Amino acid sequence: MQSTATISQMAEEARNATAHHVHEARDARELTGSQILCEALIREGVDLMYGYPGGAIMPFYDALTSYPALHHVLVRHEQAAAHAADGYARATGKVGVCVATSGPGATNLVTGLATAFMDSTPIIAITGQVARPFIGRDAFQETDILGVTQPITKHNFLVKRIEDLAEIIHEAFRLARGGRPGPVLIDVPKDVQNAKTLYSASAPISSIEHYRVTRVPHPSATAIEKAAHLIGEARQPLIMCGHGVILSNAYAELQAFAGKTRIPVITTLLGLSAFPETHPLAIGMPGMHGPAHVNRAIGQADLIIGVGLRFDDRVTGKVSEFAPHARFIHIDIDASEMHKVKRAAVPIVADAKAALTALLDAVATGNHDQWLNEIRSWEAQATERGASIERNLECPDPICILEAIRAETGGDAIIVTDVGQHQMWTARHYTWTRPNSHITSGGLGTMGFALPAAMGVKMGLPDATVWVVAGDGGIQMNIQELATLKQQGITVKVAIMNNGFLGMVRQWQHFFHNHNYSETPITGPDYVKLADAYGLTGMQITRRADVQAAVRKAMQTGGTVIIDFVIESEANVYPMVAPGSAITNMIEETAWESED
């Protein structure tokens, strides 16, 4: 039998619900689906989106002119809309939004959605769909975009009833930003956009119980206790931090934890800028192109504390030989990542910030200076060896380009890289000190990402200095977005490392295919003339002595500036680990190879 208090409480809840529905009815207005879409986006705090109109999404664009709070950016290709939304989300921590029509418009978003999915970026993709009576009849520009995107989104929705539209939009935003973030797609048939129903701005958000994300658990007290015990026993431990530290804004907690335990810190490609590389405990990036001293340290470690990372194959190399003497503490918000690559002695399913906070209280003050000094001695040996190699001092060198950008920006720029050799040079040789200043496509490795993503970064953080670093292959994949930058008055600075090759593919051909450079030489436009054609500023630099002055001039020139740095055509990224090899088995630069 229920207590009187419980019955009274239920009665009060019923009265409140009745009052809410009465208020909601008074507040309701008859709106079209397109208007409801705009209203719900504004309610979610959206003020910027990227897209391209077309037939099936046209009612939404018709309504959009009545909502000046929603700034729409007309890109030149839908893939760029997804990448721009991705860059905006990574820079701001908000949910990025992109829009496309049905059929080819929707499928052009797919690469951007897969990029966001692999790197855990929260974006909402809104696509038009043919009217409901035509779905499944091979209508003009019909594509089953739900079927296409199911593997590369956290969830996707087909809006079958206008009455569900607002709730679906709010639920999609909650899903995108909740737990491990990621992309969500909403497919809206054209007749749903045109239909009308009552809409109330006071209606509750996210009442679709079926799709609710499981609440992120607090770190297990038992797991924290076990982890603290392992940390106390370790003699050669390493902290390996990934993108999860950035997503959870756990910068201070990571520094405090590393400082208390005195454990050296490694940052993965997507973890770069999570921990300042000027910190005395920072030792570098691991994996296929990680410096020798970092990979050697992993090979000798007795404990790896992985924070917010997937143990990707480019990090581990041959899994059975990755940290063969180490036990693993794995912290990740996604339970499915546990034991997927390396079995964790202590799995901690939790947000990185919460887990590090708990560990900080549980661990004793440590001292691993002897271990750190040993790693530093390996680093010094590699530095001395590298300095002894004779180099081409005439043409621009990737490292001097990166040093010039850092010097002229004071290290305060946000660097958005494309994918290829330049990406690895930047990851390795730019000194990351500003939190969340490194933005790249890591998991999918999407060429053409950088230019539109930088547009999103700059529009999300208008006061930031944003540099694109790209290769001459990747920059041409979405180069049409220079027109968008010009039309929107967006200022980004673009450094092209131009070697006349698809450089990373050529490098693999060099080492693993007997120098057979099949379909990797690539030509491009005159970037100075191209910039001028778009109404932008362009420069070409062919001498190393001119690099610093060119970067300074770019910083002093208003608007978007493109610098074509003509680098050595067959320069390689070193070290390099052959696919399938242990990361301690590295191909290193030699004087003989440099002369060759």
Mind listing the pLDDT tens digit for each residue in 347-397?
999 999 999 999 999 999 999 999 999 999 999 998 888 888 887 789 999
Architecture of domain 221-377 in this structure: 3-Layer(aba) Sandwich (3.40)
Q: Which part of the chain has CATH 3.40.50.1220?
A: 221-377
pLDDT digits (tens, 9 = 90+) for 180-217: 999 999 999 999 999 999 998 865 554 444 444 455 67
Task: Residue 181: name the closest of 155, 217, 146 by CA.
Answer: 155
Query: Which are the contacts of 82, defined by CB distance < 8 A and separation ≥ 6?
Result: 50, 98, 109, 111, 112, 113, 115, 116, 123, 125
Question: Which structure tokens are listed for 441?
Answer: 């496509």
Answer whether residue 454 shows pLDDT above 80: yes
Answer whether residue 20 shows pLDDT above 80: no
Give the pLDDT band of residue 546 (cuts 50, 70, 90). Answer: very high
Q: Which part of the chain has CATH 3.40.50.970?
A: 20-199, 391-581
Residue 589 has what pLDDT?
86
Question: What Å distances lie between residue 59 and 28, 52, 130, CA to CA?
Answer: 21, 13, 12
Residue 280 has what pLDDT?
97
User: How much is the average pLDDT of 484-502?
Assistant: 97
Answer whether residue 269 shows pLDDT above 90: yes
Residue 590 has what pLDDT?
76
Q: What is the DSSP string of 574-596?
A: SSEE-TTSBTTSEE---HHHHH-
Q: Are 426 and 496 in contact (CB under 8 A)?
A: no
Average pLDDT score over the chain: 92
Q: What is the DSSP string of 367-419?
A: --HHHHHHHHHHHHHHHHHHHTS----SS--HHHHHHHHHHHHTT--EEEE-S
Residues marked as catalytic: 78, 140-141, 190, 504
User: How much is the average pLDDT of 441-448?
Assistant: 96
Architecture of domain 20-199 in this structure: 3-Layer(aba) Sandwich (3.40)
Task: Residue 537: name the closest of 527, 547, 545, 546 by CA.
Answer: 527
**Minimum mean pLDDT range among 46-50, 455-459, 504-508, 590-594:** 590-594
What SS3 class is residue 122? coil
**Minimum mean pLDDT range among 5-14, 88-97, 292-301:** 5-14
Give the pLDDT band of residue 255 (cuts 50, 70, 90). Answer: very high
Range 391-581 has CATH code 1.10.3720.10: no
Residue 595 has what pLDDT?
38
Query: Which are the contacts of 237, defined by CB distance < 8 A and separation ≥ 6?
Result: 231, 261, 263, 264, 301, 302, 303, 304, 305, 368, 371
For the chain, the straight-line distance linking the first and the last C-alpha, in angstroms and rounded, comes to 88
What's this model's pTM, rounded to 2 decimal places? 0.92
Residue 204 has what pLDDT?
55
Give the pLDDT band of residue 7 (cuts 50, 70, 90). Answer: very low
Question: Which structure tokens are listed for 353?
Answer: 């910030």
